[in-house]
Structure 1
Amino acid sequence: MAIPNRPPVLTLSYLTTSVAAPGHGKNGSLMAGTTNWTHNSHPLNESTSSLNITSARELDSGEYRCQGEDSEPSDPVRLGVFSDWLLLQATAEDLTEGDSLLLQCHSWQNWRVDKVTFYKDNVSLKYWYENHNISLDRVTLNDNGSYHCEGRVRKVEKVSEPVLILVQKAPRTMLPWLRLLVPALLLTLFAMDSALFVLTRQDLAMLQRARRGRKGRTTSSAPQAKTDPAHR
C-alpha cells in the first residue's frame, strides 16, 4: 500500500489523494474495502480509498497515513499548505542522480502569472513571458541548490519562497556483463599464472640437466698430466 507523494500547495487549493495497492492490476489499483486515514496521527472521518481536501488550509499541513483491511499502515506522506501568492512546486526535493525533476511556478487560486523567471542560487535560469514549467530529465550533482521563481500576479511583482533541491550520488552498480567478465578474467589470469609456473620449472630443470651434462663432459675430457722425463 502506498500514497503518492504530493508537492506543496497554496491555501484554498483542491486536491485528491488516493491509495494505490501494488500488485493489483498492471500499474497498481485503488484499494478495495475500507481504508482508514490519519492526519498527524489523528483519525479522519474518511473510509474510502480517496481522500479529498476541497479547500486546503494551513491547518491541513502535516503527515498523512492510510491503512486498508488486513494491511500494514502506509509510509507517511507530508503535505505542506502555504499562504502566499506564488509557490515553487517541485515533483521531489530529495533526488538521486538520474531522476527527473519538474519545477512549476504556481499561483494562488491559479491566477494568471506572466513574466516568470526561475532562479537557482539567485542566478536566473529561464525567463518566459507566459508561465511555463522547467523540466530536467536526468538531474546531476550540479543541480543541487536553492530554487525560487518570480512573476507578475495581476500586474504586481511576486516572489516565491526558496525550495532546496538535494541530489545524491547514485550508487555504483556493476553492469551484468561486467559481473561475468571479472570472474572470467580472474580465472584466465590464474590459468596463465599456473602455466607460466609449470613452464618455468620445466625450463629450470632442463637448464640444470644441461649444466650437469656440460660438467661431466668437461671432467672426462680433461688432459692427463704428463710424466716428467726425469723420472722415467
Structure 2
Amino acid sequence: MTLETQMFQNAHSGSQWLLPPLTMLLLFGDLLKAVVKRDPPWIQVLKDDTVTLTCEGTHNPGNSSTQWFHNQSSTWGQVQASYTFKATVNDSGEYRCRMAHTSLSDPVHLEVISDWLLLQTPQLVFLEGERITLRCHGWKSIQLARISFLQNGEFVSFHPYNVSYSISNANHSHSGDYYCKAYLGRTEHVSKPVTITVQGSATASTSSLVWFHAAFCLVMCLLFAVDTGLYFCVRRNLQTSGEDWRRSLSVGKYKAPQDK
C-alpha cells in the first residue's frame, strides 16, 4: 500500500468519524412520539359503552404492527393500530402504544364505571383560555330529560334535553367539582362528581413550546455547520499534505541523476 493510498483512506475514515454524531442526533431528534386517541374522547365511560383506541404515528409500510401497553403490561394481545371494544370494568387503566418508527406514547387514561348516570370530560386539567366541554351520559345511551349541571353544588346549567355544557374561555373560577342530574324515564339520577382544574395559560404554554422548537432547530443547525466545517477542513488539509508529498517525490526523482 502506497503512502498516498493510505492518506486517502485516512481522510475517508476521518469523514466517517465526523458525520455519525450529527446523524445520530438527527435520527433521535426526528423520532416522533406515538399518540393514543380515544373515540369517543371522554376519560370516563359507562360499562357496555363502545370505545375505539387508535395509535397514531409514523409507521413502516413493511411493518404495520403496533405494540400496546395496558397498565404497564406489554403482554396485551393487540397488534393493530386501531381497535374497538365494549367497555368492561377490567378495561379501566392507562393505555400506551408504540409503532415501528415512534417512541412510546404518553399514557391515556380510561375509567369504566358501572352506574346509571355519568359526567364525562375529555380531560381533568385545562389551561386558562381553553374550552371545557362536559357531557351528561346515561347507561346504554338512554335518552335523558331535565338535565342539570352543577359546580360545587351550585346550578350552572339546565336544559330539557341538551346533554352538553360548555365553557368557551376557562379561567381559575371554573375549577371545582362538577356533576349532573337527569331523569331516565320517571326516575332522577345523580352522577358522581368529577374534579376539574384550570391552571396556567394556554398562550404561555404555546409560546414555551415554540421557543423550545426554535432552540432545538438552532442547535441542530450549529452542529451541522460545525460538523461540515470540520469535515472539509480535515479533507483540505489531507489533500494538501498529499499534494506536498507527491511534489516532493517528483523533485527527488529529477534530482536523483544529478547526484550520481
TM > 0.5 = yes
Aligned partners of 1:171 and 1:79: how far apart in 2?
A: 24
- Please say if 1:2 is aligned against 2:38: no
Letter of the structure 2 residue corresponding to residue 12 of structure 1: D
The equivalent residue for 1:13 is 49
Q: Provide the residue aligned with 1:78 in structure 2.
A: 109
SS in 2 for 1:91: coil
- Who is 2:84 aligned against? 52
Say which one has the larger Rg.
1
1:155 to 176, 186, 207: 186
How many pairs align? 165
- Sequence identity (%): 30
Distance of aligned partners of 1:164 and 1:20 in 2 relative to their CA distance in 1, 3 Å threshold: same
- What's the counterpart of residue 107 of structure 1? 138
Q: Give the one of 180, 188, 198 matched to 1:167.
A: 198
* Alignment deviations for residues 152-183 of structure 1 (CA, whole Å, 9 cap, x no partner): 1121110000010100032785xx9xxxxxxx
Asked whether the 8 Å contact 2:37–2:54 carries over to 1, the reply is yes
Alpha-carbon distance in 1 for matches of 2:95, 2:154: 35
| Higher-helix-fraction structure | 2
Q: Which has the higher contact order (CA 8 A, sep 6+)?
A: 2
The match for 2:147 is 116
Q: Give structure 1 stretches of 5+ with no counterpart.
A: 25-31, 177-232
In the TM superposition, 1:14-33 aligns within 5 A as: 14-21=50-57, 33=64
Distance in structure 1 (CA, Å) of the matches to 2:203 and 2:167: 22
Q: 1: CA distance between counterparts of 2:102 and 2:160?
A: 49
CA contact (8 A) 2:130 2:202 kept: no
1:146 aligns with 2:182: no
CA 1:170–1:83: 2 relative to 1, 3 Å:
same
3-state SS of 2:201 partner: coil
What is the aligned-residue RMSD (CA, Å)? 2.0
Distance change (3 Å), C-alpha of 1:118 and 1:172: closer
Q: Which consecutive segments of 4 or more residues in structure 1 shift more than 6 A?
A: none
Matched residue, 2:127: 96
TM-score by length of 1: 0.67
Distance 1:170 1:134 in 2: 22
